[in-house]
Amino acid sequence: MNQQAVHEEDALAHLRQLIAQYVQALHPGDCGGQPIDFPVMESLLKTLRGKYHVVNGKLEVLNGDEKHLIGQRIKLRSVLGCRHPDPSGICAVCYGRLSYSVPRGTNIGHISAVSMGDKITSSVLSTKHLDSTSRVEKFILGKTEAKYLRYRDQDEQDLYLKRELKGKSKRIVVFRNEVQSLVDILMLSSLDDYPVGNASNLTMMQVIVDEGDEGQTSELLRVSLYNRKSSFSKELLEHIANVGWSHDAKDNVVIDITTFDVSKPFLSLPFKHVNMYEVMKRIQSFLHSGSDTETKRLGERGDDSNRGRKNFLKNYKDPVEALVVFATMLNEKVSINLVHCEVLVYAMMVRSATQRDYRLPIPGISGVFEKYNTLMMNRSLADAMAFEKQDRPLINPGSFIYTKRNDHPYDLVMLGGRLT
């Protein structure tokens, strides 16, 4: 199993490398780039080591142990916001202190892809069949969410309903596709051994409270933490098994929670028990955004990330959010400096898919994500040739029509020329 996993990771690492290599040069100095608004999460703090952030207009370096920053947003200097005029190059400040360890003239995309591959491979190798170590990210309640939900104590992973809601007539509305297996609970006489995470995978939840003469209040709560979705607690599932549910006009699921005991857990953000192999598959499926070969192979098995809407890079409009999701996914099992995640995410962006401009984004925070296969076919002919279906670029008329491409180190092989 491990050997097969290592073999598969090797192949995937090669694909990551082909795309990452477009991010080429590290330029000395400071481009004065635009910082990104980065949420510091517990699991990502360590990965920020050596990155710069802007405090009162000044650059400060992060050590990765600034616990006081957890839960805050910082102005992070990032590959995504680099304004260096070379779109395939990054300045040393946006890159971070790791730039000191990059030998002159090295392709930084290559470094990021290799660092990632090495960490993943050694983690796969050191993993037994069922490795149950996991890290848990505390879900920080937003303003709206805190009106309805609370933690009972510091270390608690479960969310409770606010006491003020006790006795009030209230109901929740959730998307039907996020509670697809809810019917399971009606089949079981006891939920004691039932993995509660199976019944629901929630991103959003609407809470409607009847306020008597004042009518009713209704608010939408976000109950997921990036790629980690919350689920109904066992107690709530037992409640639902008793009171049942109904559907509204939009076919959402409506659950009356008037009689639910506010002293019992309401939602839980489960501990994740995943092994490296699953993490690896998830990362690849995310990066490839459902390119035709990969989804069929990787998306079939029903681990929770594949349930409901697929978690694909291409679905993200905001590059910063995409970066946070990608980094969180990777760092669930291994520790990889944020800059490597930034380089990979940046390499997956193009200027304009609608205008078929597949070059790396112009300096500053811009660009949109594209499917891996589309990128491989359209960025550089040489790279497309190094990819799997070598005949395709040659018979694809687009190869000769779209000329807005990036240079790639392999171009030399294709064109047989010298670097100009």
Question: Binding residues for Zn ion, per CB under 5 A?
Answer: 31, 33, 82, 84, 91, 94
Task: Enumerate residues 6+ apart whose C-beta is below 8 A from 370.
Answer: 289, 314, 348, 349, 350, 353, 358
Q: How far apart are CA 389 and CA 235, in angstroms?
A: 52
Name the one residue in this structure whose structure tokens are 């993995």.
195
> Among residues 82 and 98, whose Cβ is nearest to Zn ion?
82
Q: Minimal distance in Å, beta carbon 83 to Zn ion? A: 6
> Among residues 94 and 205, whose Cβ is nearest to Zn ion?
94
Pairing of strands 25-27, 89-91: parallel
> Among residues 82 and 350, whose Cβ is nearest to Zn ion?
82
> Among residues 109 and 197, whose Cβ is nearest to Zn ion?
109
> Among residues 92 and 384, whose Cβ is nearest to Zn ion?
92
The structure tokens listed for 95 are: 């890159």
> Among residues 345 and 377, whose Cβ is nearest to Zn ion?
345
Q: Minimal distance in Å, beta carbon 141 to Zn ion? A: 35
Q: Minimal distance in Å, beta carbon 100 to Zn ion? A: 16
> Among residues 76 and 253, whose Cβ is nearest to Zn ion?
76
Q: Minimal distance in Å, beta carbon 99 to Zn ion? A: 11
Return the HEC string of the chain: CHHHHHHHHHHHHHHHHHHHCCCCEEECCCCCCCCEEEECCHHHHHHHCCCEEEECCEEEECCCCCHHHCCCEEEECCHHHCCCCCCCEEEHHHHCHHHHHCCCCCCHHHHHHHHHHHHHHHHHHCCCCCCCCCCCCCCCCCHHHHCCEEECCCCCCEEEECHHHCCCCEEEEECHHHCCCCCHHHHCCCCCCCCHHHCCCECEEEEEEECHHHCEEEEEEECEECCEEEEECHHHHHHHHHHCCEECCCCCEEEECCCCCCCCCCEECCCCCCCHHHHHHHHHHHHHCCCHHHHHHHCCCCCHHHCCCCCCHHHCCCHHHHHHHHHHHHCCCCCCCHHHHHHHHHHCEECECCCCECCCCCCCCCCEECCHHHHHHHCCHHHHHHCCCCHHHHHCCHHHHCCCCCCCCCHHHHHCCCCC
> Among residues 31 and 386, whose Cβ is nearest to Zn ion?
31
Q: Minimal distance in Å, beta carbon 25 to Zn ion? A: 12
Q: Minimal distance in Å, beta carbon 91 to Zn ion? A: 3
Q: Minimal distance in Å, beta carbon 257 to Zn ion? A: 50
Q: Minimal distance in Å, beta carbon 133 to Zn ion? A: 36
Q: Minimal distance in Å, beta carbon 33 to Zn ion? A: 4
> Among residues 185 and 365, whose Cβ is nearest to Zn ion?
365
